[in-house]
């Protein structure tokens, strides 16, 4: 995207008070890296669909595969990635394994992003 004159400052001025205030609140590099990795994982449409589905119901791999029209193996692979990022968790009941979102933070994050996209007319 080409920048126009209205998108950037025409002079260089640094508000040291604001910069200092934000600098004091800046999170450690490892935290920011982990946050970026979380968003990267959520950047995949298949994983986004899985997160949406699990925000609605606790589901087993077979349910998710059926919903997405994918194989159990493909869904298991995506769930493993989501589980490694602590976005989903599972519980075993007999021979069944049920997945759900790891906690309310994930549901809230996803719902806020979804609301942002829908309200801004990005769909």
* Predicted structure pTM score: 0.83
**What average pLDDT score do residues 51-79 get?**
97
Yes or no: say if 110 and 53 are a contact pair by the CB < 8 Å rule: no
pLDDT of residue 72: 96
Residue 79: in which H helix or E strand, if any? Answer: helix 72-84
pLDDT of residue 10: 87
Tell me the pLDDT tens digit for each residue of 32-62: 999 999 999 999 999 999 999 999 999 999 9
**What average pLDDT score do residues 59-75 get?**
97
Confidence class for position 3, pLDDT limits 50, 70, 90? low
pLDDT of residue 85: 95
**What average pLDDT score do residues 94-109 get?**
94
Residues 19, 20, 26, 30, CA torsion sign? positive
Give residue limits of the domains in the chain. 58-123
Tell me the pLDDT tens digit for each residue of 15-29: 999 999 999 999 999
pLDDT of residue 4: 61
Which contacts of 51-59 are long-range, i.e. CB under 8 A and separated by 24 or more positions? Answer: 51/82, 51/87, 51/88, 51/101, 51/106, 51/110, 52/110, 52/114, 54/88, 54/99, 54/100, 54/101, 55/101, 55/106, 55/107, 55/110, 55/111, 58/98, 58/99, 58/100, 59/98, 59/99, 59/100
Yes or no: say if 88 and 101 are a contact pair by the CB < 8 Å rule: yes
Class of domain 58-123: mainly alpha
- Which residue from 53, 113, 103 is spatially nearest to 78, judged by alpha carbons? 53
């Amino acid at each position: 995207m080409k920048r126009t004159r209205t998108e950037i400052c025409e002079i260089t001025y640094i508000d040291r008070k604001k910069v200092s205030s934000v600098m004091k609140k800046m999170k450690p590099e490892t935290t920011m890296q982990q946050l970026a990795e979380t968003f990267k994982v959520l950047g995949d449409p298949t994983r986004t669909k899985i997160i949406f589905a699990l925000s609605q119901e606790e589901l087993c791999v077979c349910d998710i595969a059926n919903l997405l029209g994918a194989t159990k193996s493909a869904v298991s692979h995506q769930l493993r990635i989501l589980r490694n990022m602590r976005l989903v968790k599972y519980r075993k009941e007999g021979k069944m394994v049920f997945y759900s979102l790891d906690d309310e933070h994930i549901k809230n994050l996803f719902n806020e992003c979804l609301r942002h996209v829908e309200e801004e007319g990005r769909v």
